[in-house]
Amino acid sequence: MEVTITRLRKIPPLTQYQDEIDALNAACFEDIFGFLGPHCVDERMQIRLFLPGAESVIVTTTDTDYVAQRINNSDLFIADIPNHNDQNDYQLKVCYPLTTIVIEDPYRFNSLLDEDFCFLFNQGKQSQAYRHLGGHFDEVDGIHGARFSLWAPNAKSVSLISDDNHWNPSRHIMRKHPASGIWDIFIPELTSGVRYKYHIVAMTGERIEKADPYANFMQNPPDTASILHHCMPHRMPKSWQDKRNTRNAVDAPISIYEVHLGSWKRQGDDGKAFLSYQQLAEQLVPYVSDLGFTHVQFMPISEFPFNGSWGYQPVGMFAPTSRFGTPEDFAYLVAQFQQAGIGVLIDWVPGHFPSDPHGLARFDGTHLFEHADKRQGFHPDWNTLIYNYGREEVRSYLHSSANVWFQQYGVDGLRVDAVASMLYLDYSRDEGEWIANEHGGRENLDAISLIQQINQDCYRDNPGIMMVAEESTAWPGVTGFVDGGGLGFGFKWNMGWMNDSLQYMHRDPLYRNHYHGEMTFSMVYAFSENYILPLSHDEVVHGKGSLLNKMPGDDWQKFANLRAYYGFMWGHPGKKLLFMGGEFGQWKEWDHDHSLDWHLLQYEPHQGLQNLIRDLNYTYVSQPALYQYDNSPLGFDWIDEGNAEQSIFSFIRYNKERTCGVLILANMTPATYQCYRIGVPSAGRYHQLINTDNARYGGSGVGLTDYVETETEQCHGQAQSIMTDIPPLATMMFAFKVRP
């Protein structure tokens, strides 16, 4: 068929469009689809186009080309053509001063927003909002492109600005859905890698540029744009998927290596360049595997603008930081850990967010994500903002953020940061600086219900995961079931044990006998929650010194103290967590801007400490008595908790069947005790598993033996006993069979 160019009746200057032209030029148009695109007028079709910088426009239908007329010497063009069956079936040939392009008109496409999604989102019950909001590749009527959706209910107008439209907010003004407060648009022919933001006009006239809250990829800071990216879902190795239910359970051995990806190891001539996710997969995975850790935990990897926040002030709650690579690269790192049989946890931060201009603060010109009242919406400790946990759409946002790390990236668990700051309305506030709840109390009821909802739904939808709380108070039932009034976490960091035991170890051994209870008090509450014993990054920064430097004495005693402490920790009920650098005795406290001091491993004391951590982990995994009953008093018995005079601690750990046990004996003084007698619950042979004074670990070699035999001599209330030499500043472990 021969195609002709038709010039229809000339449209006279239409002064009635001047208000619309002004609004388009100002990028402030609330009902943009009510004006631009195809519209029936007097039984004809008018196609209205706003194309800044264009010299001429031709509308191409299936059989004819129509010249669009420029209106009022503006960038508004109108083609007035006969109506036909499919008024949306056309393309645009746009002539610019230096080029001519053929494009699709984004204003001819209907909305792709799902009404059921909008309902659940506005109800606070949407756990997969990231599939609908944000930028996503899609196809409409055979046309490939990307759809963008944004919740900004109080905005006067919203535009997508990007590389594609030269960051011109007049080019792609979005459609508003008043009922849901969501704006959307479909942009044809966009490709991966396009940088974009949202240009928001507030009701006050203020103009704001924001990154996409739901973006899965963002620019490397200090740049702040979102990046359109097609992210393939993570494929969990089947070997890991089949075992995840048991590997992350409360009766499983869980020993976690906490890592800050930006400072574990660096590269380059100046030692400042980050390792990529791919390089971390090549180096970190085998390292963690060799040391015998069962899990790794990354400090926050949600995109964040300021390195000094360590990730705890995120702006991209759905985007792995681009500092180390793409989202697929991060998913690859997760998969490589799981392929090696190592679970992956990440820090997740729903307690606060920064006030960076491109982030969530005053998102649409109003306090949308945060409380307007500073007594509820501002964190005095961190100079950050607090989410409005009572706003339904914010609940959907946070719920979806938690879920995306399981669904899209396949992680095994979330360690939820600063839970206490969420639970208490008066957290770190003086009288008059907080607002009581509806009952007059200090509990944040909205935050509590949100935490419960997220925990319940994440466990239901992602079997075998771990939800871990960093909760620093005595809030009851943190790991209790929601149905019984608990918060629904699987595990809780034992901050009390950490504070007490580190305080004890910091003391001169000469005076430790006066503070014996600092090491025994934890057993009063050890089974009230499912605990993880953390020696985290928080204990080796801000002038606190490294773990090694917290220990008293000369260099030999520092290493011996730390070895004894690790042995005691691995014997104590509770899962284990150790921050990177602690495994080989970093002298300096952690610095997020520098690599760990790997050169220290050329020295025997540091090698010895690393050998101990490796052996503790392998011993721990091989002895069910050391982990099966972490949450039950049935698996623990003191032998002698009262020997303060000699600062010796002795206790038994049992497996679930109580057929096997491990005796832990710790001496926290530099004294050596020969032929020390200790009562034991069962006759037989006690095999030495660990002696932290072993020369292999840098010790003096006292008390080394393959096994000791029991004697029928009463001691510590037991009918049987063993006799052994107890080395200075050391912990020993002995395995035994329980005889009927």
Domains within the chain, CATH numbers bracketed: 4-108 (2.60.40.10), 115-227 (2.60.40.10), 632-737 (2.60.40.1180)
pLDDT at 680 over 50: yes
CA 20 → CA 5, 174, 199, distances in Å? 28, 15, 19
Residue range 173-195, pLDDT digits in tens: 999 999 999 999 999 999 999 99
Residues 148-167 have a mean pLDDT of 97
Q: Are 355 and 309 in contact (CB under 8 A)?
A: no
Distance, CA of 156 to CA of 42 (rounded, Å): 30
SS3 of residue 308 by DSSP? helix
Length of the chain: 740
Q: Are 91 and 49 in contact (CB under 8 A)?
A: no
Can you give the pLDDT at residue 468? 98
**Average pLDDT score, the chain:** 94
Can you give the pLDDT at residue 2? 44
Q: Are 585 and 605 in contact (CB under 8 A)?
A: yes
Torsion angle in degrees (nearest 10) through CA of 647, 648, 652, 653: 60
DSSP assignment of 425-440: TTTT--TTSS---TTS
* Cα distance between the two ends of the chain: 97
Can you give the pLDDT at residue 85? 57
What residues have CB less than 8 Å from 633, skipping those under 6 apart? Answer: 526, 527
Phi/psi at 257 (5° precision): -105, 110
Task: Enumerate the H helices of 296-440 as residue ranges.
Answer: 327-339, 374-377, 392-407, 419-423
Handedness of CA 298, 299, 300, 303 (dihedral sign): negative
Distance, CA of 709 to CA of 611 (rounded, Å): 27
Distance, CA of 314 to CA of 320 (rounded, Å): 10
Residue range 276-312, pLDDT digits in tens: 999 999 999 999 999 999 999 999 999 999 999 999 9
pLDDT tier at 9, thresholds 50, 70, 90: very low
| Other C-beta atoms lying within 10 Å of the C-beta of residue 383 | 11
What residues have CB less than 8 Å from 70, skipping those under 6 apart? Answer: 56, 76, 77
pLDDT at 64 over 60: yes
Can you give the pLDDT at residue 15? 62
Greatest CA separation for the chain: 115
Q: Are 322 and 220 in contact (CB under 8 A)?
A: yes
Half-sphere exposure (CA, 13 Å, Cβ side) for 608? 21
Residue range 468-493, pLDDT digits in tens: 999 999 999 999 999 999 999 999 99
Active site residue 282: no
- Region for residue 309 given its phi and psi (left: phi exceeds 0; alpha: psi -120 to 50; beta: otherwise): alpha
pLDDT tier at 14, thresholds 50, 70, 90: low
Distance, CA of 537 to CA of 393 (rounded, Å): 33
pTM of the model: 0.94
Active site residue 30: no
Pick the catalytic residue: 104, 105, 347, 417? 417
CA 679 → CA 215, 404, 639, 712, 735, distances in Å? 61, 52, 7, 10, 14
Q: Are 416 and 467 in contact (CB under 8 A)?
A: yes
Residues 365-385 have a mean pLDDT of 94
Pick the catalytic residue: 470, 500, 529, 693? 470
The partner residues of 47 in beta bridges, in order of sequence, read 38, 79
pLDDT at 648 over 90: yes
Distance, CA of 55 to CA of 93 (rounded, Å): 11
Can you give the pLDDT at residue 84? 61
Distance, CA of 182 to CA of 170 (rounded, Å): 19
